[in-house]
Amino acid sequence: MNKKNKLYLGILFDLIGMLSFVFPPIDFVWAPLSAYIMIKMYKGNVGKIGGLVSFVEEAIPGLDFFPSFTLTWLYVYKYKKKN
């Protein structure tokens, strides 16, 4: 999967996570699923930490505005690339 597709999918997944503002029960399914997807999208420690952050922010009510997939993409392809 190329980086552009990861960005598009990440934005889509962040939008799905924000659906819980309208339909809160979605978090029971989406929190573990988002963690699993994050781990599969980003290998190594980045995926593991991203998965943990994604799970926590989806599981705790009110934190769904945090775009964990998009921020992970920015970290991997913009920030980490510079260092």
Domain that holds residue 26: 3-82
pLDDT of residue 68: 95
pLDDT of residue 38: 97
pLDDT of residue 63: 84
State the pTM of this model: 0.89
pLDDT of residue 73: 96
In the chain, how many domains are there? Answer: 1
**How buried is 8 (Cβ within 10 angstroms: 0-12 exposed, 13-18 middle, 19+ buried)?**
exposed
User: At which residue do the structure tokens 């991997």 appear?
Assistant: 76
pLDDT along the chain (83 residues), means of 10: 94 92 88 96 95 93 89 92 66
User: Both ends of the chain: CA-CA distance in Å?
Assistant: 23
Cβ pair 30, 58 in contact under 8 A: yes
CA dist 15 and 8 (Å) reads: 11
User: At which residue do the structure tokens 């190329």 appear?
Assistant: 2
pLDDT of residue 23: 86
